[in-house]
Amino acid sequence: WQQLVNLITQSANKSLQFSVKRQDSINSVTVTPKSRINEHGIEQGFLGVAPVVQPWPEGYVETRNFGPLDSIARGTQETWRLITLSFDMIGNLITGQVSVKNLSGPVGIAVGAGTSVSYGLVAFLSFLALISVNLGVFNLLPLPVLDGGHLMYYIIELFRKKPVSEKTQEFGFKVGALLLIFLTCFALFNDVSRL
């Protein structure tokens, strides 16, 4: 599969000939990978195909059972891991270690959900947990229109011993709303450009 990926990425706008086996017949297909710029600014081809993942052999699948208390402890540990992962990713986005082209919006979430469903119920529920934790972490960012912005105003009020003026809060809400709209549009643009 990796050899095929390498061939496609190096063949932007070039015709490729493939032999495709469907059931018992082999068909010859000519395809032309489209061109797109990757996160490093390099042109590469893409075709929009994915491998069919073979299920794990029976001896490699392990089922674990936990009691109620162990389940709560494991769930707490996993939630904490996802929270720290989310904050690490936000930090990496801010420092530039991760490209902002990796941001996804509703379309990317739908594609990810569809992919996780194909791996089974556990993968799908894990994906839903990841999205829920990410939304919770995102909601705690100090943007005035989010809950984190309200907490920020409460903390400022705690130190100042008086509330933030309504004019300042209104200005903050406007700036926060603009940032949120920009971030949403950017994530949607990323989603559409990946299709």
pLDDT by residue for the chain (195 residues), tens digit each? 788 888 888 888 888 888 888 888 888 888 888 888 877 778 888 888 777 777 777 777 777 888 999 999 998 999 999 999 888 888 888 888 877 777 888 888 888 888 888 888 888 988 999 899 988 998 988 888 888 888 998 998 899 888 888 898 889 889 888 988 888 888 888 878 776
Note down the domain range covering 31.
1-53
37 with 88, same domain: the answer is no
Secondary structure (DSSP) of 138-194: HHTSS-TTSHHHHHHHHHHHHHHSSPPPHHHHHHHHHHHHHHHHHHHHHHHHHHHHH
Pair 94, 186 in one domain: yes
Domain check: are 93 and 180 in the same one?
yes
Please give the tally of structural domains in the chain. Answer: 2
pTM confidence score:
0.59
Q: Which residue has the tokens 């409460």?
A: 154
